[in-house]
Structure 1
Amino acid sequence: MKAVVITTPGGPEVLLLQEVEDPQINEDEVLVKVEATALNRADTIQRQGRYPPPKGASPYPGLECSGTIEAVGKNVSRWKIGDQVCALLSGGGYAEKVAVPAGQVLPVPQCVSLKDAASLPEVACTVWSTVFMMSRLSAGETFLVHGGSSGIGTFAIQIAKHQGVKVFVTAGSEEKLAVCKDLGADVCINYKTEDFVARVKEETGGKGVDVILDSVGAPYFQKNVDSLNIDGRLFLLGFMGGAVTQVNLGSLFAKRITVQALLLSIDYMTLVHLLLVIMHAAAGLRTRTLENKAEIVSEVEKNVWPAIVAGKVKPVVFKYLPLSEAAESHRLMETSQHIGKILLVA
């Protein structure tokens, strides 16, 4: 088969489409003929040599895919050859075929094309596990997502609105904010021209929001704390703006704030100094056990898939590129000009 190989750590130019050996499945896996895969920030970090795949995982990038099942392991009962599916991966999506543990496979939702289904597994599993399973966001609460026009952001807006939550977003242009508003965001804040802390306080009568989902990291940490309500929950997906910061512990104590990250859980009673060495959302999913990932996938199918089938949550795809243009897709992602997901079509 053909797969995109990271020939050496570096820029997008190190991604080359090459002939490689077909993957072999074990008794608990299925073999998927890939229709499409979606880009995630973790892919660019892996390309730079700062995020090696877990032991035993595919060396090729790609943390989600859609396609058709070509073979099933002897212990697999739910799936059969010919099923159209999408899947959460530990790697290997940038290829024509990929082996996937059966517990990480999802049916393609009705009303979603096989190609577009590649945009769903990673964002659905990340948002549902972090925002709803771990941060316990519930109907009637308020939620702020930074980077509302990203793949994570566009999905989080829709599923949070479906759950009866008031949604705040930040983004860096009026065009991106307009898309967020169309997706259901209630309060849209241009972080380049407006202080999001002041706007959040204004819109909540000085209370702050209940849950924040953030990928910026250090520059936003104290601002996030200042934007949270009593018993607020902050979930950190990454540190695109920096990894080290200082925090006013008094504000954490006063508000009984919970801070969590994908590889780190911090209780306000023991937090003294914040040093985040975590990856993008995919890192937390990628390194979890097979059992834990299967549990998350099951919860997503039960709670999120019905909303997609009902048309309440839709894929947001910015651009389709062929697998041979993986380097160009990475260049595009690193400009941060896209809205939603970028897909590579096998």
Structure 2
Amino acid sequence: MVMHEAVDLLEQAMPTRDPVEVHAVTHKALTSAIKVIARADDSSGVIGDACRRLLALHPRTAAAASTPPGRLVDWMIAFQFDGDVDYFELDPVAYAPALGADGITAYRHRLGEIQVRVGDPPADRLASSHRHEHWVLSWNEQRLAVLDRDADAVIRTHARDRRIARWFHDTAVALVEIDRVDLATSWARQGAGINPFHQAQECADLWVSLLDQQPGYDADDILAARRSVFDRWPTDSTAARLHDAATAAGRAWADIDDDVIDRLAQQPRDAVSFALGTLRDPRRAWQLAHDLGLDPDDNHTWGTLATAYEAIDPPATFPVHARIVESDLTHADARHYRDAARRLAGMRTLAAGTSDQEHIDHVDRLIADLRLTHRRRPRLQQEFNRAHLP
């Protein structure tokens, strides 16, 4: 957190301190941070986040300090092609105010020299000894197309071979940057129908958000877009977005409810999750789980469902909870033991709430059987004791 506090101070100093001094300190801080992350374990991501903040601040301080463009170009080239790490990018769009027209021309020239030296990338880029250089050149080509506000160049550099939805999403985002929302909408829409699903979902969300920003489209258009995405990718998440769009358009969900559930039934988990999470109907979700044969090993979905159904019929959830406990106890570690103990304690509370001695005895017998079966697991017995189980 000390690094982030230092960046906070630099950001706060920009409006009030000498620009040359602020840039010098920012530049030194960035250089030091890069050296640190090159040698440190950043599994928490804290150092990386601080580096990204400094990288975002650096072009602003460079512009404010009127840094000589030639010096800045030299540094940008060295940072990207000969730096201590190769997983941060510099954005020439962000540096354009500091570079000016002559600096941008010089920067393009330096990139061109490197392009001539390394040649075009082979079909298998991973097999190239210059794969890092090719990646940096490709990134800069994309960002310079945005700087030029050239829609054709943006499409050429971002859409690539158009094989995956990610390229369509990147193209749409870049087109938005140059105020070509009309083209961006089309590219996002196309990407919503292309594999892989998680990338297509991002395209779909972008598509709908772009429709929502344009005066020529209304709630019905957004509903139609969400319906087309759901038809292509019937999942609980696309169904939830369709439900939101139908509500916004003032449409009766009952008109399409059966059709949506029928489509989701191909994947019982999606149908159950949608009924529970979006429709907020635990009775229906419970029925769907049993009718559609929800995978008994899907402990997460069954556990969430059982918790929701406890308010309706507590004893009916006991077999589900017991099955999850048995599953937890196939893992010989303290975390699973604690999870099992907490679930059993919850079952005892539910049983006591019914005021039915038969249910109370049923749960206590289950606990006694588990204690006996796992009597050679002292840590399990300890967790049961901590949970005040009999």
More helix by share: 2
**TM-score bracket for this pair, using the shorter chain length:** under 0.3
TM-score by length of 2: 0.25
Greater RCO, CA 8 A, separation 6+: 1
More strand by share: 1
TM-score by length of 1: 0.27
